[in-house]
Structure 1
Amino acid sequence: MNIAYWIVAGLLALFYFYAGTMKVIRSRDQLRPMMAWVDRMPLPVVRALGTVEVLGATGLLLPPLTGIAPSLAPAAAIGFVLLQTGAIAVHLTGEDRRITLNLGLLVTAAVTLWLATAR
């Protein structure tokens, strides 16, 4: 289970660290081709989501790696499940109905949560 956690959590953290960093540093025009929903959100909200994603990615890896507050890893996974639930709702209420990636991330976060608590 430990190896499976590190593989799944590592890939999830890598994705969220990249996506979050892009939301924090790129302009709305640069984000639009990848994320059609950015026009419906104020830019500070997009930046805040990016910050949450970077912090969550760190929370998946750093606590179990250091042994300091390891309960933060399942909390980060729960946060990503909730984040993707909200993302699916945003996509479905707008014109962009592509939720395949969001469903995949939701399932991956749920598996990460299961692996984090099954150790």
Structure 2
Amino acid sequence: MNLALWVAAGLLAVVALAGGISKTFVPREKLATVHGGGWTADAGAAFVKALGVLELLAAAGLILPAALGIAPVLVPVTAVCWTLLMIGAMITHGRRDESAFVLLNLVYLALAALIAWGRFGPESFTG
């Protein structure tokens, strides 16, 4: 189970890193032209960048606390925060009738929920 949680955290961290880099460093106008990025046309540039920074922090928070042994409880806390972010993403994509992205966000939400459950519960770093 521990290995599965590490793999899930690693996969989710890669997703968060990719999303964070694009939202933080790619201009909003360019993101709006990419498949699945149309929502950025309706959002402010500062909001998109803030989401990007949150995703970069999530990428770090899913791996580094446990890997470095510094406040490993932040891993499941980050996973819970990611589930909240994915709920918002699902609502946003749902309003735009982008069901494929709603399903993709649901997969990310499920991975985050698994990590949160596992790291708060049976595979806790503090146990």
- TM (normalized to structure 1)? 0.92
User: Across the two proteins, how many residue pairs are aligned to each other?
Assistant: 119
Root-mean-square deviation (Å): 1.3
- Structure 2: gaps (5+ residues): none
Structure 1, gaps ≥5 residues long: none
1:16 equivalent in alignment to 2:16: yes
The more displaced of 103-112 and 6-15 is 103-112
1:42 to 27, 41, 44: 44
Q: Give the Å deviation of 1:113.
A: 1.2
| Deviation of 1:38 (Å) | 0.4
* Alignment pair present for 1:109 and 2:99: no
CA deviations on 1:43-86 (whole Å, 9 max, x unpaired) are: 10000000001101100100111111111001100000000011
**Once superposed, which parts of structure 1, at least 4 consecutive aligned residues long, lie more than 3 Å away?**
94-98
Where does residue 30 of structure 1 map in the other structure?
30
Report 1 or 2 for greater relative contact order, CA contacts < 8 Å, sequence distance ≥ 6: 1
* Equivalent residue in structure 1 for 2:66, among 64, 67, 87: 64
| TM-score (norm. length: structure 2) | 0.87
